[in-house]
């Protein structure tokens, strides 16, 4: 599919979505964005947030999905699944600056087993993209499981979107695969971050955008809080296996780490970041963008009022 | 004619090998390493086989591989004469290919002119001495402009290479699932690289291998040896019937019925395949007639005079350059911003590097981030095309030592990755007033995010409402990441100036306790 075809499909899709809305068949359709994901799921049937502790990354993912209705709740047969891990840096997996490749691998396997037509993995990297893909271990893991590694290093991959409510960001260019996806899965790694304090699910979406510099110059917190409006992920899976506590996001010789062996899964990106903030230490109040996003109605930071399923392996 | 037939297959095999060898160069240099990182070792290996740089690097770096390559080239020349030019030189074979393409479908007579050139071997010898002599004196321009591999490498990259990139991007736009090739338009480098290359190929289409016969310093040096080579083409005037067959095929324009100019002959053996009488033969020992080593007093004096004149010129150059009002050499090259330009890791010092670099651009081709770009005259008029790091568009990758690994001339010396991480090629400078945290009151930290050595950190500072970047100079290696990503306008808050002499940076600070061994955290925090 070329970009022109894609844009016309996008237009038709938007029309179809509007028609579905008018018919009133699926009130959760908008929140879920996936083509048919919402219809089958009654609200409240699953926990708002699932956290799994212990075991390996793949086992944590399996347990989290089992408690969330299985991968089939998110990935339908024939779907284009786009996975957005953090692959920002040309560093070894042990340094935990990128998402755990074992987690990406398992996720790709599950998506394909659920009947996905195509699974693509990409990031708009900070270091040279080929080096990041290769040295993070994610390229090998994703390909071994049957996914394709899609490039994100050139402006021509990005389409301008006008997200209502994203006033600080303005018109941003978002990777065409994220826009095209039937199911977009955000798979961030939890770590410290020089600019934002902490990076987790919302901050990871900056890697779907072309002009990252604009986020910094326009106000980092406001832009991060709005990033979830550009193309809301259908599912967020936080890798908090080994958490870089300082020196992030790249990490350096004096970075400190915490072995958390934790995975958190939620469709609510704000709740996920709130849980991440508590795991990271100071809690959601310490990170302005979490409050901004919650007040904008993009999700909930009041974890105490959410249905949380905690699993220890 | 029997001998002619066997020489025909030898000549054909030579043509095939030369074509494959050229194809390997083209493959290795067609795309920047950002697109085809797997080809970087091939580029380094091929560049290392070229004799001018091999000798330069063997002398500079005492590198074993280069010494072996230089010795092999010398030994090969003593046995087989100037065969390098018809077999291993990419610029030579490229001229043959271009001439062939230009005359495709036309008769040999309408092809590139092959009439024997005037013998002015002495002038070429002068160049062969002057070019390395000037390089030794710190003036690289003659070598930059005349060394054949350098002409080929940057010329090919900037013409066919960039066209290949454009073609791939065209296919991508049509729907082929391949990554977009990042192409960078550099008008000056394009002009300085592409135009001479194109001119040489064009000239070769009118006068076969015009550059090789008239200008090439490597060819001149090898041609001098050619006259003494153990095996060579010999000409026997008594057997020649002046049929002109050799003249029609000679790519080096070195033979006709009046004799053979051994200094031009590139030992392609094509003439042997067509000579009907055996007047041209191949073998050891002296040949009869004009092909024999011309050791007459007159010739000897002319050659010795040319060599002496070249040496004298080379020796006089530094003084002349010093007295010149022109900015021939700039030991502190500055970019448009006024800051010192940074030389790649492995350069040791800007002056040393710029004095030895012939601008082949193999390093820039091997650079995965594309931060390396050819200079114009920033390093001085006598040091054109020397690559430097342009932090405006990219930054030097912390884990990468590709440029130093492929440099064929020794201008960049090989560097281990761990040594590179401590090699300061520049130093960052922070102007907090220009930082958007201060000027706009917004959180940022892009510099610290990208800093691989931990030299920049975002810290709470008394009196500042928001955490600001704090720079620890001694650990900075000048990679330029902070400058590239700094979002401040119109002036970046973080800028990097090159170091005239590279330094060893302090190791990354370890002022925080290592947490790797911390036990797993039990329970949930929420």
Tokens (6 digits) for B167 = 């073609």
Looking at residue A174, its pLDDT comes to 96
Quick check: B454 and A254 CB within 8 A?
yes
Looking at residue A34, its pLDDT comes to 39
pLDDT digits (tens, 9 = 90+) for B80-108: 989 999 999 999 999 999 988 888 766 55
Q: How many CB pairs under 8 A join A and B?
A: 151
Angle at which helices B217-226 and B64-80 cross, to 10°: 50
A168 shares contact with chain B (CB less than 8 Å): no
Residue showing tokens 């290093």 = A153
Alpha carbons within 13 angstroms on the beta-carbon side of residue A226 total 22
Closest-CA distance of chain B to residue A162, Å: 22
How far is residue B357's CA from residue A100's CA, in Å, rounded to a whole number?
43
With a cut of 50, which residues of chain A have pLDDT below it?
A: 1, 4, 20-42
Which helix H or strand E contains A17, and what residues bound it?
A: helix A3-23
Q: Taken in order B179, B185, B186, B189, is the CA torsion positive or negative?
A: positive
Minimum CA–CA partner of B511 in chain A = A254
Cβ neighbour number for residue B23 with a 10 Å cutoff: 13
- B37 vs A contacts (CB less than 8 Å): 130-131
Chain mean position to CA B346: 16
Residue B106's contacts (CB-CB under 8 Å, 6 or more residues apart) are none
Looking at residue A27, its pLDDT comes to 41
B175: left (phi over 0), alpha (psi -120 to 50) or beta: left
With a cut of 50, which residues of chain B have pLDDT below it?
A: 1, 289-292, 514-517
Residue B514's contacts (CB-CB under 8 Å, 6 or more residues apart) are A254, A256
**Domains of chain B in sequence order:** 2-101+109-154+206-291 (no CATH), 424-502 (3.30.70.20)
Enter the ipTM: 0.85
Looking at residue A37, its pLDDT comes to 41
Cα(first)–Cα(last) distance of chain B, in Å? 93
- A156 vs B contacts (CB less than 8 Å): 173, 180
CB B48 within 8 A of CB B61: no
How far is residue B197's CA from residue B205's CA, in Å, rounded to a whole number?
13
B438 shares contact with chain A (CB less than 8 Å): no
Picking from B436, B458, B510, the nearest residue to A253 by CB comes out as: B510
Looking at residue A39, its pLDDT comes to 37
Looking at residue B294, its pLDDT comes to 55
Pick the residue of A96, A250, A309 with the most B CBs within 10 A to test the interface with B by mutation. Answer: A250
- A196 vs B contacts (CB less than 8 Å): 443, 445
How far is residue B42's CA from residue B35's CA, in Å, rounded to a whole number?
14
How does DSSP assign B155-204, residue by residue?
Answer: HHIIIIIHHHHHHHHHHHHTT---PPP-----HHHHHHHHHHHHHHHHHH
Report the relative pairing of strands A118-121 and B255-256 from DSSP bridges.
unpaired
Burial class (CB in 10 A: 0-12, 13-18, 19+), B202: middle
Q: What is the DSSP letter of B526?
A: -
- A310 vs B contacts (CB less than 8 Å): 524
| In chain B, residues 357-396 whose CB comes closer than 8 Å to chain A | 368-369
B289 shares contact with chain A (CB less than 8 Å): no
Pick the residue of B449, B505, B507, B518 with the most A CBs within 10 A to test the interface with A by mutation. Answer: B449
Closest-CA distance of chain A to residue B317, Å: 43
B525 shares contact with chain A (CB less than 8 Å): yes
Looking at residue B36, its pLDDT comes to 86
CA-based nearest residue to A95, from A250, A277, A240:
A250
Tokens (6 digits) for B195 = 């135009």
pTM of the model: 0.88
B485 shares contact with chain A (CB less than 8 Å): yes
3-state SS, B40-87, equals HHHHHHHHHCCHHHHHHHHHHHCCHHHHHHHHHHHHHHHHHCCHHHHH
């Amino acid at each position: 599919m070329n970009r022109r075809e894609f844009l016309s499909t996008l237009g038709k899709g938007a029309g179809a979505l509007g028609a579905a809305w008018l018919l009133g068949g699926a009130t959760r359709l908008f929140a879920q964005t996936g083509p048919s994901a919402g219809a089958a799921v009654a609200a409240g049937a699953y926990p708002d947030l699932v956290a799994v502790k212990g075991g390996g990354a793949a086992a944590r993912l399996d347990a989290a999905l089992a408690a969330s209705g299985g991968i089939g709740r998110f990935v339908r047969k024939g779907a284009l699944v786009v996975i957005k891990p953090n692959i920002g840096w040309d560093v070894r997996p042990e340094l935990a600056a990128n998402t755990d490749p074992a987690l990406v691998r398992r996720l790709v396997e599950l998506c394909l087993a659920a009947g996905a037509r195509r699974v693509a993995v990409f990031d708009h990297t900070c270091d040279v993209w080929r080096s990041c893909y290769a040295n993070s271990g994610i390229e090998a893991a994703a390909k071994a499981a049957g996914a394709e590694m899609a490039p994100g290093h050139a402006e021509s991959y990005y389409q301008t979107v006008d997200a209502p409510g994203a006033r600080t960001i303005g018109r941003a260019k978002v990777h065409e695969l994220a826009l095209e996806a039937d199911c977009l899965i955000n798979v961030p790694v939890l770590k410290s971050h020089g600019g934002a304090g902490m990076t987790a699910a919302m901050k990871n979406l900056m890697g779907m955008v072309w002009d990252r510099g604009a986020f910094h110059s326009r106000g980092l917190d406001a832009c991060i809080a709005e990033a979830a409006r550009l193309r809301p992920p259908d599912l967020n899976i936080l890798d908090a296996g080994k958490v870089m506590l300082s020196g992030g996001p790249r990490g350096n010789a004096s970075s400190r780490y915490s072995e958390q062996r934790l995975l958190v899964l939620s469709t609510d990106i704000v709740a996920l970041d709130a849980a991440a903030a508590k795991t990271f230490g100071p809690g959601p109040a310490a990170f302005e963008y979490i409050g901004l996003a919650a007040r904008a109605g993009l999700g909930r930071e009041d974890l105490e009022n959410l249905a949380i399923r905690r699993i220890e392996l | 004619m029997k001998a002619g037939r066997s020489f025909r297959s030898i000549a054909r095999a030579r043509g095939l090998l030369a074509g494959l060898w050229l194809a390997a160069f083209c493959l290795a240099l067609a795309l920047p390493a950002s697109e085809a990182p797997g080809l970087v070792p091939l580029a380094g290996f091929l560049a290392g086989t070229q004799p001018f740089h091999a000798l330069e690097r063997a002398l500079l770096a005492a590198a074993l591989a280069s010494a072996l390559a230089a010795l092999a080239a010398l030994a090969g020349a003593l046995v087989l004469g100037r065969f390098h030019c018809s077999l291993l030189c990419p610029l030579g074979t490229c001229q043959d290919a271009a001439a062939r393409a230009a005359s495709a479908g036309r008769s040999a007579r309408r092809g590139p002119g092959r009439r024997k050139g005037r013998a002015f071997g002495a002038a070429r010898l002068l160049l062969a001495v002057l070019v390395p002599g000037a390089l030794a004196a710190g003036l690289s321009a003659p070598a930059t402009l005349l060394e054949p591999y350098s002409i080929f490498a940057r010329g090919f990259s900037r013409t066919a290479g960039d066209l290949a990139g454009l073609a791939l991007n065209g296919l991508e736009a049509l729907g082929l699932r391949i990554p977009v090739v990042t192409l960078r338009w550099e008008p000056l480098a394009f002009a300085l690289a592409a135009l001479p290359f194109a001119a040489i190929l064009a000239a070769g289409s009118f006068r076969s291998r015009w550059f090789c016969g008239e200008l090439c310093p490597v060819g001149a040096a090898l041609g001098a040896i050619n006259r003494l080579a153990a095996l060579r083409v010999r000409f026997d005037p008594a057997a020649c019937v002046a049929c002109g067959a050799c003249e029609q095929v000679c790519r080096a324009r070195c033979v006709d019925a009046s004799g053979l100019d051994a200094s031009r002959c590139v030992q392609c053996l094509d003439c042997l395949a067509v000579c009907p009488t055996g007047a041209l033969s191949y073998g050891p020992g002296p040949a009869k007639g004009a092909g024999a080593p011309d050791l007459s007093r007159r010739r000897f004096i002319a050659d010795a005079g040319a060599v002496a004149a070249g040496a004298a010129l080379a020796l006089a150059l530094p003084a002349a350059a010093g007295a010149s009002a022109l900015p021939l050499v700039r030991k502190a090259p500055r970019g448009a911003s006024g800051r010192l330009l940074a030389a790649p890791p492995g350069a040791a010092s800007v002056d040393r590097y710029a004095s030895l670099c012939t601008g082949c651009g193999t390093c820039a081709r091997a650079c995965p981030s594309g931060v390396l770009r050819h200079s114009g005259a920033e390093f001085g008029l006598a040091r054109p095309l020397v690559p430097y790091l342009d932090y405006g568009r990219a930054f030097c990758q912390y884990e990468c030592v590709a440029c130093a690994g492929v440099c064929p001339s020794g201008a960049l010396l090989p560097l281990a990755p761990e040594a590179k991480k401590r090699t300061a090629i520049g130093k960052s400078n922070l102007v907090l007033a220009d930082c958007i945290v201060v000027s706009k009151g917004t959180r940022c930290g892009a510099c610290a995010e990208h800093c691989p050595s931990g030299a920049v950190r975002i810290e709470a500072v008394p009196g500042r409402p928001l955490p600001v970047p704090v720079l620890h100079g001694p650990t900075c290696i000048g990679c330029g990441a902070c400058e590239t990503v700094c979002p401040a306008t119109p002036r970046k808050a973080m800028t990097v100036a090159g170091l005239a002499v590279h330094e060893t940076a302090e190791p990354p600070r370890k002022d925080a306790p290592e947490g790797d061994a911390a036990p797993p955290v039990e329970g949930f925090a929420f």
